[in-house]
Amino acid sequence: MSDEIVFYSNPRSRALIVHWMLEEVGAKYRTVTLDLQKGEQRQPDYLAINPMGKVPAIVHRGNVVTETPAIIAYLADAFPDAGLAPAVDDPARGPYYRWLFFGGSCFEPALLDKMMKRPPVEPAGMTGHGSYEDVLASLKTALTPGPYLLGERFSAADVYIGSELGWAIKFGAPGLDTEPVITDYVSRMASRPAFMRTIGQT
């Protein structure tokens, strides 16, 4: 069975996060670009891969993986030589999972609430992702003193959270570009060679 990863992507989407991760781990991959405007993500061939009709998705050794943080976690484990996931018995495995899941379950929905100006859901305690302000405060604490979410160690969680923070700053999410702990972190991420390859700056 081929070891090549098939990467279903669109360059103007969350697939960029997976693209960066593929470059970080040094995977051999082939990109299939879907035209989202033309609805290629809704064609039967692709719905057989991801019934959600969304990118990104990967197929590796016959395994389909969808959902950006799941793909990131899968690649970190599939390419252990890249050292982007602490081992299961490493004390850093807990914080690693914590921030990887926090990205998808708290940061992203809180950010979208804020950007879309959605009214707060009542009762507030039922909202699993809490408030945007609490999410940002948690991330600032996690990144202090840094330089990474796991302290001195760069991990796949940084690929996910770093990408989302970079996106959030680019699109003017409040409370970010005035916070050096956040802006320095995002700059650190953007200077990684794998990230620069992803955005075509090398």
Ligand X SMILES: N[C@@H](CCC(=O)N[C@@H](CS)C(=O)NCC(=O)O)C(=O)O
Q: Which is nearer to ligand X, 44 or 145 (CB)?
A: 44
Q: Which is nearer to ligand X, 67 or 77 (CB)?
A: 67
Counting Cα atoms < 13 Å in the Cβ hemisphere of 87 gives 3
Min dist. Cβ of residue 116 to ligand X (A):
14
Name the residues that contact ligand X, by CB under 6 A.
13-14, 36, 41, 53-56, 67-68
Q: Which distant-in-sequence residues (6+ apart) come within 8 Å of 193 by Cβ?
A: 202
Q: Which is nearer to ligand X, 36 or 92 (CB)?
A: 36
Give CA separation, 23 vs 151, 159, 189, in Å: 22, 11, 13
Min dist. Cβ of residue 91 to ligand X (A):
27
Q: Which is nearer to ligand X, 24 or 164 (CB)?
A: 164
Min dist. Cβ of residue 125 to ligand X (A):
24
Q: Which is nearer to ligand X, 27 or 55 (CB)?
A: 55
Min dist. Cβ of residue 38 to ligand X (A):
11
Q: Which is nearer to ligand X, 47 or 137 (CB)?
A: 47
Region for 130 from its dihedrals, namely left if φ exceeds 0, alpha if ψ lies in -120 to 50, beta otherwise: left
User: Is 6 strand, coil or helix?
Assistant: strand
Min dist. Cβ of residue 159 to ligand X (A):
13
Min dist. Cβ of residue 55 to ligand X (A):
4
Task: Report how far residue 184's alpha carbon sits from residue 180's, in angstroms, rounded to the nearest whole number.
Answer: 6
Tokens 């991959």 correspond to what residue?
A: 29
Q: Residue 138 class from Cβ within 10 Å (0-12 exposed, 13-18 middle, 19+ buried)?
A: middle
How many of the other CB atoms lie within 10 Å of CB of 87? 12
